[in-house]
Amino acid sequence: LEYTEPFRPQYHFTPSKNWINDPSGLLYHDGIYHLFFQYNPASAEWGNMSWGHATSKDLTHWDERPVALLARGYPENVTEMYFTGSAVADVNNTSGLGVDGKVPLVAMYTSMYPMAQGLPSGKHVREEQQSQSIAYSLDEGETWTTYDAENPVIHNPPAGYEAEYKNFRDPFVFWHQDTQRWIAVTALASVHKLAIWSSDNLKEWSFLSEFGPYNAVGGVWECPNMFQLPVEDDSATKKWVMVLGLNPGGPPGTVGSGTQYFIGDFDGTTFKADENSVYPGNQTSNWLDWGPDFYAATSYNGLPEGDVVQIAWMNNWQYAAKVPVEPWRSAMTIPRQLSLKTIDEKITLVQQPQKNWRSVADSQSSNQAWDTVSEGSTDLESPGKAFKIDLSFENHDSDDTRASAFAISIRASSDFEQETLVGYNFTSKEVFVDRQRSGDVSFDDTFASLYHAPLDTSDERINLQVFVDWSSVEVLAGSGEVALTTLIFPDEEATEARLVSVDGETRDVKLEIRELDSAWH
């Protein structure tokens, strides 16, 4: 694989060609990380939704596999599309779909029926109906069989929500240890609710409860994801986390899609959000990522308890169809290890790169330190186009000599007319990414913007981890309680970098830069 086209991510998953959106089924089984995703086999635009497939042993190097679920009737007459869902290994063969002791991998997905029709199962569906179906694989995910005898296994929305049959989607299924059964969470997208279901065999499902609306309710609610984690430094306490996507209705300052989460408890039937995870008036939210380009986040099934790794689609429905890349379109985020930390008396989701993520572990680093970085700019050696930065510096309250903001300028042209700034504003106490002059911003009116995330901390130092690839910037700030993901499309020769201290000096600055190798060669 060459993967050297302009803007081609070097250490983020992309398909060799064509459109992708949501990760649809993250499953670890027998030493292999499977990544299924929304895929159009025909072109770099949304359509013919199928499940693409890639595998990895280390979440760094990916091997694109044959399409797992090809839209039914493709290409002439698509009668069923395979929308977002999830996948599990049915190790106890509860489904009975395993034969000769082979563990069936089971995918649960939304069947989107473009036209009314009778199905092999004898069920009838209406035009544009969304229902939940399953498929299984007996060869480690290489080939899949849709379970046509019964599909769809959740035919209609729960009682009371019959009218929502066109907006009922994205099942996230997982094994619930305490009650020894399968749980699936689905979205009732237009009414800002999630519906929770249970099953003993992945085939027959009972409706259990609903959740929502709470906090951010712009646009639709979709792509739920749910998992349990221990609370750091208090490992006797375990909490459940509910994640969901909004489109549009993302974080303040963004336009288009975004991702929020709730901390709470799940008793096997009902998810109840903690009081301090819900805000009155739908004004605020717990944003999983404050940038514009992080959506449909979902976590791996099949990992040991407490090991939660998420991947999200690194794009935004606002302009996903227009980003200036070809012959593929869209990438996934780096794999993020999640944990829960109590910060200012609040249980908070914290993100770090997945603990064994090879791109970071193997690379060479260069270190620099300054007692004081004076006002203005400080030149740095060019870090290239794919690298990781660790930048930390002393926190301070505003005074005459100290900076109001401190940033690193990256992917800059030699005259710094083009640059992306990643930094911290000491006055507003916010992390920011400014992509207003980041390169090609012409394809969408809202793209040239500055994004910010609150990091109101009394910590003595501000820490920023910045992952830069050929067309993206992912920032993890503090101990990872703030994430901010943005796409950028800089000129190929824009590889300069410098530090910028605004209106005063910044003290005790440490900078580590690691080049990140291509994961494709």
Number of residues that bind ligand FRU (CB under 6 A): 12
> Which amino acid, one-letter code, is at 137?
S
Nearest distance from C-beta of residue 185 to ligand FRU, angstroms: 13
Query: Should residue 205 be labelled a site residue for ligand FRU when binding is judged by CB under 6 A?
Result: no
Query: Should residue 170 be labelled a site residue for ligand FRU when binding is judged by CB under 6 A?
Result: yes
- Nearer to ligand FRU (CB atom), residue 111 or residue 285: 111
* CA–CA dist 515, 83 (Å, integer): 36
Among 169, 341, 385, 388, binds ligand FRU (CB under 6 A): 169
* 307 has catalytic annotation: no
Nearest distance from C-beta of residue 197 to ligand FRU, angstroms: 17
Residue 327 per-residue DSSP state: S
Q: Which residues contact 207 (CB under 8 A, 6 or more apart)?
A: 158, 159, 195, 196, 197
Among 194, 223, 314, 331, binds ligand FRU (CB under 6 A): 223
The size of the chain, in residues, is 521
Nearest distance from C-beta of residue 397 to ligand FRU, angstroms: 42
- Nearer to ligand FRU (CB atom), residue 329 or residue 514: 329
- For residue 180, is it left (φ>0), alpha (ψ between -120 and 50) or beta? left
Query: Should residue 83 be labelled a site residue for ligand FRU when binding is judged by CB under 6 A?
Result: yes
Nearest distance from C-beta of residue 64 to ligand FRU, angstroms: 19
* CA–CA dist 289, 384 (Å, integer): 26
> From the candidates 22, 170, 434, 469, which is the catalytic residue?
22
- Nearer to ligand FRU (CB atom), residue 60 or residue 316: 316
Among 7, 12, 22, 264, binds ligand FRU (CB under 6 A): 22
Among 80, 164, 222, 469, binds ligand FRU (CB under 6 A): 222
Among 14, 84, 228, 449, binds ligand FRU (CB under 6 A): 84
Among 296, 331, 477, 511, binds ligand FRU (CB under 6 A): 296
* CA–CA dist 96, 98 (Å, integer): 5
* CA–CA dist 488, 5 (Å, integer): 15
Report the DSSP pairing between strands 328-329 and 18-29: parallel
* CA–CA dist 343, 340 (Å, integer): 9
Report the DSSP pairing between strands 496-502 and 506-515: unpaired
Query: Should residue 50 be labelled a site residue for ligand FRU when binding is judged by CB under 6 A?
Result: no
Give CA 244 to chain center in angstroms.
10
Among 110, 333, 472, 485, binds ligand FRU (CB under 6 A): 110
- Nearer to ligand FRU (CB atom), residue 83 or residue 451: 83
- Nearer to ligand FRU (CB atom), residue 67 or residue 223: 223
* CA–CA dist 300, 305 (Å, integer): 11
Which segments within 232-345 are labelled E, that is strand?
Answer: 234-247, 258-266, 271-273, 295-299, 308-313, 328-329, 336-343
Which residues within the stretch 125-144 sit at the binding site for ligand FRU (CB under 6 A)? none
451 and 422 Cβ atoms separated by less than 8 Å: no
- Nearer to ligand FRU (CB atom), residue 88 or residue 312: 312
391 and 464 Cβ atoms separated by less than 8 Å: yes
Give me the active site residues, please. 22
Residues forming the site for ligand FRU (CB under 6 A): 21-22, 38, 49, 83-84, 110, 169-170, 222-223, 296
